[in-house]
């Protein structure tokens, strides 16, 4: 564990002992992946990371130059901003095969293809019901936070180039899954354009993968917490689940060529290695995962002002469920799942609910018989629930944070219960080794 994390944990523990409910610390920003940081790596690993960063920088410039050239060609002074759509509007993945043959489904697929970045990915919060991308139209909508404060960790380095190619909010993986369904429905000949776009998207995923097997939230890299290995909103798990299906080459992915399937399988294996390497160890025992991990040190990292280094129940359950999906898990995977299940059993909370309490907004209130539920974040070393606020303060009582953050974030959830239910079945055929 890095000296910085140890120092932060020590200060949090000292503060926590002073009061049963208090501000117990201040969140600090996550570092970007930079040339200077890579230069400090051991010689045997430095070269591959330098090549990765250089490729990211080249691709970012190429993406930007593509749009600028297009704008000059059509005499456009300011890029058109596309419509915002919550998550990925109208990209339904649960319809019948007949649905994806319909003209409307193919019209939306055409829009999806048109907004694919030169790098091969997609932005988030896109509305795919309007029209194909027009010349000079940006590849991303306005994804800036409405609550930016001074020195906010969520402030983009470039307001005109934000989340252009990302795995956040199910982006890129959802577009690829939608295209896969349309290709399967219409056939590879009719769906040739969609197939080409799909394969470019898989190449994008492969290019974005870090040398240690993780994925950043945004690629080409954007800096700040976006460079971290990202489990938040299941970004990395969504990628791995897609690669699992592509590698299998069944159902919606039978059209994928063997070479791509082989590359997907190898990429997935490296991703699994990263999951195992980032599982947090407390007192010699494996536990769960943070929302973000530093790409070089693999240490837990912060993200937005109110998202601190911690054990994160709401993302760790999906990591655990992905590992249980593997058909032939080795000893390392079995041990990781066993440890995560034990940690979920240990940290469950009962007889409380997080719900609206009149004018006080959402609060934790007594609720006999309710549960189990889990806090989103737990303090590393104590497994004590912790909560962040927009002013970067860290609290040990969710009822003490601002009304806006209490109402606007999922501080408690019951998601791990599903993982434990699945584990009860999985463990019978995968006993500890």
Instruction: Say if residue 289 is exposed, middle or buried (CB neighbours under 10 Å; 0-12, 13-18, 19+).
Output: buried
Going from the C-alpha of 212 to that of each of 14, 180, 338, the distances in angstroms are: 34, 28, 23
Cβ pair 165, 218 in contact under 8 A: yes
CA torsion through residues 101, 102, 104, 107, sign: positive
DSSP states along 143-188: ---TT--TT-TT--S-TTS-SSSB-GGGTTHHHHHHHHHHHHHH-T
Q: Which residue out of 143, 162, 169, 170 is catalytically annotated?
A: 169
Closest-CA residue to 137 (of 158, 122, 115): 115
Closest-CA residue to 163 (of 231, 239, 82, 243): 82
Torsions phi, psi for 36 (to 5 deg): -65, -40
> What is the distance between the terminal CA atoms of the chain, rounded to a whole angstrom?
27
Q: Is 360 a catalytic residue?
A: no
Q: Is 304 a catalytic residue?
A: yes
Question: Would you state the structure tokens that stand for residue 277, as one six-digit string?
Answer: 């390497």
d(CA 78, CA 74): 11
Question: Would you state the structure tokens that stand for residue 430, as one six-digit string?
Answer: 């995968």
DSSP states along 199-248: HHHHHHHHHHS-TTS--BSBSS--SGGGGSEE-GGGHHHHHHHHHHHHHH
Closest-CA residue to 217 (of 262, 154, 305): 154
Question: Would you state the structure tokens that stand for residue 243, as one six-digit string?
Answer: 């690669």
Q: Which residue out of 304, 362, 363, 390 is catalytically annotated?
A: 304
Active site residues: 169, 304
């Amino acid at each position: 564990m890095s000296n910085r994390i140890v120092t932060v944990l020590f200060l949090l523990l000292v503060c926590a002992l002073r009061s049963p409910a208090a501000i117990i610390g201040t969140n600090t920003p996550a570092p970007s992946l930079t040339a200077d940081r890579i230069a400090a790596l051991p010689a045997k690993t430095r070269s591959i990371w330098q090549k990765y960063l250089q490729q990211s920088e080249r691709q970012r410039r190429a993406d930007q130059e593509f749009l600028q050239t297009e704008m000059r060609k059509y005499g456009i002074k300011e890029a058109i901003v596309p419509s915002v759509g919550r998550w990925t509007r109208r990209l339904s993945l649960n319809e019948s095969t007949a649905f994806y043959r319909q003209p409307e489904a193919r019209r939306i697929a055409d829009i999806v293809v048109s907004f694919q970045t030169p790098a091969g990915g997609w932005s988030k919060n896109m509305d795919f019901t309007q029209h194909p991308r027009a010349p000079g139209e940006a590849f991303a909508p306005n994804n800036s936070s409405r609550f930016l404060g001074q020195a906010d960790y969520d402030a983009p380095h470039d307001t005109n180039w934000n989340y252009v190619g990302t795995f956040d909010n199910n982006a890129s993986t959802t577009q690829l899954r939608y295209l896969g369904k349309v290709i399967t429905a219409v056939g590879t000949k009719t769906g040739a354009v969609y197939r080409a776009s799909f394969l470019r998207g898989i190449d994008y995923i492969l290019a974005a993968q870090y040398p240690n097997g993780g994925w950043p939230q945004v690629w080409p890299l954007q800096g700040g917490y976006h460079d971290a290995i990202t489990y938040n909103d299941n970004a990395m798990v969504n990628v791995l689940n897609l690669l699992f299906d592509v590698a299998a080459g069944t159902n919606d992915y039978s059209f994928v060529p063997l070479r791509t399937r082989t590359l997907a399988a190898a990429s997935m294996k490296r991703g699994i290695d990263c999951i195992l390497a980032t599982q947090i160890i407390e007192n010699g025992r494996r536990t769960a995962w943070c929302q973000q991990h530093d790409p070089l040190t693999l240490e837990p990292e912060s993200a937005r002002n109110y998202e601190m280094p911690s054990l994160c129940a709401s993302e760790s359950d999906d990591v655990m469920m992905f590992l249980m999906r593997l058909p032939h898990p080795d000893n390392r995977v079995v041990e990781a799942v066993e440890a995560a299940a034990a940690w979920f059993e240990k940290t469950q909370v009962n007889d409380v609910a997080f719900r609206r309490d009149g004018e006080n907004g959402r609060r934790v209130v007594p609720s006999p018989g309710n549960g189990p539920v889990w806090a989103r974040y737990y303090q590393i070393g104590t497994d004590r629930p912790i909560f962040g606020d927009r002013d970067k303060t860290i609290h040990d009582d969710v009822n003490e944070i601002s009304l806006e953050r209490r109402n606007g974030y999922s501080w408690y959830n019951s998601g791990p219960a599903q993982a434990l239910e699945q584990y009860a079945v999985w463990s019978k055929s995968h006993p500890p080794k």
